[in-house]
Amino acid sequence: MSFPMLPNHNQMKKMSKENIPLQDRIIVALDVDTTDKAQEIVKRCESHIGFYKVGLQLFMASWFETVDWILDRGHKVMLDLKFFDIPETVKLAVAQVNNRGVSLATIHGNDAIIRAALEARGDMKLLAVTVLTSFGEEDMRAMGMTQSVSDLVFFRARRALELGCDGVVSSGMEAGRLKTELGEKLLIVTPGIRPGANTMDPADDQKRVVTAGMAVGSGADHVVVGRPITRAADPILVIETMQQDIAAALTR
């Protein structure tokens, strides 16, 4: 798999959220099945990383136990449960999470669902999921959709911003267009990060992938990285390399 050419957004970068500390730029995805395994990853990474993502698997396994443990250690949490249901149910679910110290939570759905979630967000920032990074053009065609992934991401991101969402989850391939056309107010969190083209595993489920530097260089505020760090023999080496890549992208 090769990485796409991304647009150059020097002007946007000058205005970008450079106040985000380097240790918060990478959000490590704790995609494991026990709180012990999650704690082990956090302990290995915390000298360099202050932001962790708890997703469906770990939340099902440990409910708020891991979330609270991470917060008690002074780190930030992104709770990635991608809430999707009728508006009232989403509102009540979001209300269960707000004011617990979680920094970012994810939702998706139509206007009514997003509005309902926003009503209950409390002190959390809400991110709308645009199109999963494991989803490619061929998946769009298979579902009978004629627009491009980029147009669908843009359409959903613009709507989320208009409705009052704090940001979106989008691939690095769309981050540049979103920042250019929708502006700096939109927080962009980008999963689907891989260290380099030569490290791509053909069996990888992610499709719209870029490097950490490419994502931040084109407008992402944070990158979400799971397996490249959590399954690495030397996670700190991977983190340091990605952070150097991010720092270089921010100064270009």
User: Which residues are at the interface with ligand C5P (CB under 6 A)?
Assistant: 29, 31, 55, 80, 129, 132-133, 169, 191-193, 206, 224-228
Tell me the DSSP string of 120-146: T-TTSEEEEE-S-TT--HHHHHHTT--
Q: How far is the CB of 121 from ligand C5P (least distance, A)?
A: 18
H or E segment to which residue 65 belongs: helix 64-72
Half-sphere exposure of 160 (CA within 13 A, CB side): 30
Look-up: residue for tokens 């991470």? 70
The rounded distance, in Å, linking the Cα atoms of 149 and 160 is 16
Shorter beta-carbon distance to ligand C5P: residue 29 or 182 = 29
Question: Residue for token digits 């989320």?
Answer: 160
Nearest distance in Å: CB 10, ligand C5P: 27
Which of 104, 132 has the CB closer to ligand C5P? 132
Q: Say which residues have a Cβ less than 8 Å from residue 97's Cβ, sequence separation at least 6.
A: 79, 81, 105, 124
Residue 29 Cβ, how far from ligand C5P at the closest point, in Å? 4
Q: Active-site residue among 13, 37, 43, 82?
A: 82
Catalytic residue status for 82: yes
CA atoms within 13 A on the CB side of 117: 31
Whichever of 213 and 228 has its CB closer to ligand C5P, that residue is: 228
Smallest gap from Cβ 245 to ligand C5P, in A, equals 15
What amino acid is encoded at 144 in this protein?
Answer: G
Residues 218 and 208: their CA atoms lie apart, in Å, by 14
Residue nearest to ligand C5P (CB): 226
Instruction: Assess contact for 189 and 105: CB atoms under 8 A.
Output: no
Kindly state the tokens that stand for 28: 């490590």
At its nearest, how many Å lie between ligand C5P and the CB of residue 80?
A: 6
Nearer to ligand C5P, 80 or 221 (CB): 80
Residue 127 contacts residue 166 (beta carbons within 8 Å): yes
Considering the complex, state which of residue 37 and residue 227 has its C-beta at the smaller distance from ligand C5P: 227
Give, as one character, the DSSP assignment of residue 193.
Answer: B
Reduced to 3 states, what is the DSSP secondary structure of residue 73?
coil
Catalytically active residues, by annotation: 82
